Structure 1
Amino acid sequence: MDTQAVLNEFRAAGALLEGHFVLSSGLRSPVFLQKAKVFADAKRTATLCAALADMVRDHLDQKPDIIVSPAVGGIVPGYEMGRQMDLPAIYVEREDGAFRLRRGFELHEGQKVLVVEDIVTTGLSSRECIDSLKETGADVIAEACLIDRSGGKADVGVPLIALATVEFPAYPADDLPPELAAIPATKPGSRGLQA
């Protein structure tokens, strides 16, 4: 599955939005990927994650022991990747601003972890998640995501395997192009939701 096919799946789900959006990173963009609309369709999610699982198998020389995803956005693709790869899938949640394993989830020293994300923009959330997992003694061998919207520029601290790599424009709030500044901003993402 190539980048255009992935974007077509998002379009078909009504999940590729245009306007003025505040991203989870705080940056502003004329494009927002509303992945929740994609994940509402189990068949579409399975198709995308099957293609990503194949890509992960092709790129890694070692098999992960477990999948870990950051909540909220990574839970559904993490679960589906676990199903596709026959691996357990757990997630981390923010607690006092930092990612933590909760709900009885555990990792063990040396356990090989594949982090699964939905969308990567700057890589900041991914790095925070990966750092929290390394504190447990686990070995984070890679991260996989459906879309890397940084155009391959995001550094997550481990190899990043993206089903689609695109570069949608993103701007600091105080440096918007006039056409974007003329449109009211909306914040459709999940960052900031209270647990």
Structure 2
Amino acid sequence: MDQETVLGEFRDAGALLEGHFKLSSGLHSSVYLQCARVLMDPKRAARLCGAFADKLRATGVEVDLVVSPAMGGVIVGYEVARQLGVDGIFTERVEGEFALRRGFEIPKGARILMMEDVITTGLSSRECIKTIHEWGGDVVAAGCLVNRSGGDVDVGAPITSLVNINAPAYEPDNLPDELKAIPAIKPGSRGLKS
């Protein structure tokens, strides 16, 4: 799947938004990718995650387990795990830190794909990877459908993504004039208000 096809899937789902958005990181951007909308259609999710799984296989990386950070990574992590034929689990925040719950475990030395929907700053990816390492897992790859950093972010593992876009994100006190003129909305999983 090429970049235009992937972005077309987001557009068709109403998941590629333009305006002024406050991201879960606290940064602001003129572009927002609402992966929950693109993944709500099981056929579309299977197409995108299947294309990702094919791209990962082409790198030669083999994984034993897919681990995703909740909330955004849960659906994409599950579907990528299904496509790869391995189990998929997720981390959840407990008192502000990612942890494994629900009886999930990571076998020592397991080859792990840490899978996200979108990577912007890489913070939740790095936090998830830290938890995987604490359990003794070996993160052999990080994955995402969309890498908003243009490929510049470092999460501590090689990143495979379906799409790399350069969607600048700004500190709230350093907004370009065109964003200053529009009220910010926060459509993500951590709230709906600016």
Tell me the TM-score normalised to structure 1 length. 0.96
Partners of 2:177 and 2:110 lie apart in 1 by: 49
Partners of 1:77 and 1:155 lie apart in 2 by: 20
Match of 1:47 in 2: 47
2:134 counterpart of 1:135: yes
Q: Secondary structure at the match of 2:113?
A: strand
Match of 1:34 in 2: 34
1:20-43 Cα deviation digits (max 9, x unpaired): 100111110011101111111110
Q: Secondary structure at the match of 1:76?
A: helix
Q: Secondary structure at the match of 1:128?
A: helix
Report the alpha carbon displacement of residue 192 of structure 1 after superposing the two structures with TM.
6.2
Matches within 5 A, 1:1-195: 1-61=1-61, 63-191=62-190
Letter in 2 for 1:165: N
Report the alpha carbon displacement of residue 170 of structure 1 after superposing the two structures with TM.
1.2
Partners of 1:80 and 1:27 lie apart in 2 by: 28
Tell me the TM-score normalised to structure 2 length. 0.96
Partners of 2:182 and 2:107 lie apart in 1 by: 49
CA RMSD after TM alignment = 1.1
Q: Secondary structure at the match of 1:60?
A: coil
Partners of 2:178 and 2:66 lie apart in 1 by: 41
Partners of 1:192 and 1:32 lie apart in 2 by: 14
Partners of 1:101 and 1:76 lie apart in 2 by: 17
Partners of 1:59 and 1:100 lie apart in 2 by: 29
Letter in 2 for 1:155: D
5+ residue gaps, structure 2: none
Report the alpha carbon displacement of residue 134 of structure 1 after superposing the two structures with TM.
0.1
Conserved in 2, the CA contact under 8 Å of 1:148 and 1:162?
A: yes
5+ residue gaps, structure 1: none
1:78-134 Cα deviation digits (max 9, x unpaired): 110111111000000011111100000001110111111000001111001101110
* Count of equivalent residues: 192
Conserved in 2, the CA contact under 8 Å of 1:115 and 1:142?
A: yes
Partners of 1:98 and 1:72 lie apart in 2 by: 13
Partners of 2:175 and 2:64 lie apart in 1 by: 43
Letter in 2 for 1:21: F
